[in-house]
Chain A
């Protein structure tokens, strides 16, 4: 095996794991933005909530029942929060998209502070559930099993999301709305219900990502902001409203964050944000986004 690959295999695999995790987090943000032009700045806080749910329900050394319970609770909280955000932003739909984004910012601030009040300011770490907490030998290197399982879980979820968006009638409405919102409402589809469902599902995925990510990221104040920014980069680069774009974007950003940091340390951030700036200026609808859409 080439020496380069040997040295960096661990980072590459990390990148895949983080990439899939980012996809689960970001796909909801992308669809909501693509469908409604609403930039949900509270998306990061949903992830953090998932992390705290994992720590408080499953504890620092989770058992399987605990971990699954945390997933269920976080998912439920996420879905409810998404529905609530959808309602709230719908009230502002006639004002600007900016006001809607600012509303989500306010909610994010409130939620972040509430979490900090409830769980304190310390960093809380969580171990992977039993069976997934060891490491395996991969090409002569020890590699954490949990991250491998993240790759597997992530791939499965990605396939599931793809199926829902491509094969169900809900997915058809989502794709149609992203492409031409006015046409969809002219045809008579009640887009408010669809929006609420998409918002809810996207938020559910975000908080689920938070639980799945807890054994890697833990839970601490400030994590919401870092994760939100990564998700934004993924969404912009991958394209608004595009599931495929979110996946490609997430895998790329995942690699930059891991392999990139291993190779370039802090310069990786410049690559990240430089790419974001470049895409925003040159092709604001992202690599896979629909540039003939009806938004300006």
Chain B
């Protein structure tokens, strides 16, 4: 591959990062808030892509680890310290630990059975959040979360945006590294042909569990950012109301491509919240249609479409 071709992806990534960093200087506060929400959701979609797209484990319950991270970060912010880095560290740990517990059971199953199991686990976690009033505030949720603080300053508005952007970029870089590493190669081998991997001597269970935990920890991180932005966490943030849009984002964007799901996340947020409101709150309908179209006619999602067009006149 020529130097120009090899430099293409990092150059695009750098351009995108710079454009995103400049956003608050060019856009109004409403757009910046929306972009912040998109970045948080994109990080969640990215974490799910590691599990679904790279490892081939389709999860319909990933919101659980996102929500656990959000609750953990929020709880720490209220009761201990609103320090940004501390709350995020707690969120990562919480997401990772719950994922370890859930994953140790879940990754023993495959395909549609794995899907059902993650669905069930997501429901358990949501029920737990609903009933554990003392910690989670029950169905009212955890409210009154103070703004995250970094070096004494409260992170709100533009500052919050740059904080979220920085964490997102770091998260993306980590996932991109892992995907390109031998570990990522192993995961893709498991996705493509798990029986062959066993026949080659790989301890497949351990790799799948590691992917599950890593992906859960990253989802928890996204949850921590969510808590810092919304300042309110409810049980719905753990359940299907989060898990389904996340899976939609990954599928529509193109599973396995990493950047595809991020675009998919933007599409989901924009369609559901903005196109939806102009359609009388029925963004889900459009999302469902888009999803059906992608599953039926565009396997590989928007990412595949984008790449195919570029490769066109070869």
Contact = CB atoms under 8 A, between A and B. Distances in A.
Contacts of B130: 266
Interface in A52-76: none
Contacts of B131: 266
Contact of B288 (A106, A229, A236, A270): A106
A281 B109 CA distance: 6
B304 to A, nearest CB: 14
Interface string A92-103: 100111110111
A233 interface: yes
Contacts of A114: 285
A107 B127 contact: no
A91 B296 contact: yes
A17 B185 CA distance: 52
A contact patch SS = helix
Interface residues of A, number: 40
A273 B61 CA distance: 13
Interface in A244-296: 266, 269-270, 273-274, 276-277, 280-281, 284, 296
A102 B112 contact: no
B contact patch SS = helix
Contacts of A105: 244, 291
Contact of B115 (A98, A108, A112): A98
Contacts of B178: none
Contacts of A273: 120-121, 123-124, 127
Nearest to B290: A106
A225 B240 contact: yes
A113 interface: yes
Given A95-B299, A105-B291, A276-B117, 16 more contacts: A96-B111, A98-B111, A105-B244, A107-B292, A109-B287, A109-B291, A110-B288, A114-B285, A117-B280, A229-B120, A232-B120, A269-B123, A277-B105, A277-B120, A280-B120, A296-B111
Interface of B: 58, 105, 108-113, 115-117, 119-121, 123-124, 127, 130-131, 240, 244, 247, 251, 280, 282, 284-285, 287-289, 291-292, 295-296, 299
